[in-house]
Amino acid sequence: MGSVRAVLIDIDGVLTVSWQPLPGTVEALREIRGAGLAVALVTNTTSRTRASIARTLAGAGFPVSAGDILTAPAVTAAHLAEHYPGARCVLLNSGDIAEDLAGVTLVDEDRGDGEPPDVVVVGGAGPEFGYAALDRAFGHLQRGARLVAMHRNLYWRTDQGLRLDTGAFLAGLEKAARVEAEITGKPSPAFFEAALAHVGAGADEAVMAGDDIESDVLAAQRAGVTGVLVRTGKYLPQTHRDASGTPDRVIDSFADLPALLRDLRGSAQQQL
């Protein structure tokens, strides 16, 4: 890789769990910022807008603003604008993310205007993912609607333990309706392309730190970015052993990342 100029960082499970900072993460991010590295927080979180996430993280002491954050909903809005301009979309999601879906025509199914949606957009799982909502989505797909999903994450970690996420339901929808979802968030290559453009760095100049070995780390490596697996959050030894590839680096905590970055930058300078 070239000299490190940018760091892509997952939030949930890496910087925080249930939005509470993990030990040493605030200080580590401040050190990375102080080293002059470009930073983007890249998240599949679909329960909050970029502005809300920024307020929460800044309130916990992290040196971030909304402009530092790239979310799956924001990338999804861009994807829909490019590939389905003007499409009528029905959203299945837990949380209010309308602000990050600016420009997307969302259909209110409760109002029932009679016109079927063109696209079913699936966000993050929660109480809204009940039988009735999933069955309505299934019906739309049977009638020809396209399926766009913000991610395939099977679960995430909270202070109450692991909780089911979208991927557990998405697989059933795809199989039942005989369709394949277009994924807009991690691990899609387009998401990492957007993140690199956001920080103004080439893939060989960036590092991605995440707790999901497949969606964060190996997906980043396929995009040419150095992947760093963090042993916090949803990390499990079994998923590490059974993964489809090998992380470039593994660290115990995000708090260890500044030291790793110093080593990587030093090695790159020695090769010049």
229 shares its domain with 147:
no
The predicted model gives 132-161 an average pLDDT of: 94
217 shares its domain with 177:
no
Q: What is the pLDDT of residue 2?
A: 58
161 CB neighbour count, 10 Å cutoff: 7
Asked if residue 210 lies in contact with residue 11, where contact means CB atoms within 8 angstroms, the answer is no
**pLDDT reading at 143 higher than 90:** yes
What is the full DSSP assignment across the chain?
A: -----EEEE--BTTTEETTEEPTTHHHHHHHHHHTT-EEEEEE---SS-HHHHHHHHHHTT----GGGEEEHHHHHHHHHHHHSTT-EEEEE-SS--GGGGTT-EE--TTT--SPPPSEEEE---STT-SHHHHHHHHHHHHTT-EEEES----EEEETTEEEE-HHHHHHHHHHHHT--PEE-STT-HHHHHHHHHHHT--GGGEEEEES-IIIIIIHHHHTTPEEEEESSTT--HHHHHT-SS--SEEES-GGGHHHHHHHHHHHHHHH-
Asked if residue 129 lies in contact with residue 109, where contact means CB atoms within 8 angstroms, the answer is no
Helix axes 189-199, 72-83, angle to 10 degrees: 110
166 shares its domain with 140:
yes
Q: Is this prediction's pTM over 0.75?
A: yes
Is the bond leading into 73 cis (omega within 30 degrees of zero)? no
161 shares its domain with 200:
no
List the domain range (segments joined by +) for residue 145: 85-183
- Can you tell me the distance from the alpha carbon of 207 to that of 170, in angstroms, rounded to the nearest whole number? 29
Give the residue from 183, 198, 215 where a domain finishes.
183
The predicted model gives 126-135 an average pLDDT of: 94
195 shares its domain with 231:
yes
State pLDDT tens for residues 22-51.
999 999 999 999 999 999 999 998 989 999
CATH number at residue 256: 3.40.50.1000
Residue 261 included in any domain: yes
Residue 150 included in any domain: yes
State pLDDT tens for residues 68-125.
999 999 999 999 999 999 999 999 999 888 888 989 999 987 665 668 899 999 999 9
10 CB neighbour count, 10 Å cutoff: 26
State pLDDT tens for residues 59-81.
999 999 999 999 999 999 999 99
In the chain, the number of structural domains is: 2
Q: What is the pLDDT of residue 198?
A: 94
**pLDDT reading at 150 higher than 70:** yes
**pLDDT reading at 1 higher than 70:** no
147 shares its domain with 113:
yes
Residue 73 included in any domain: no
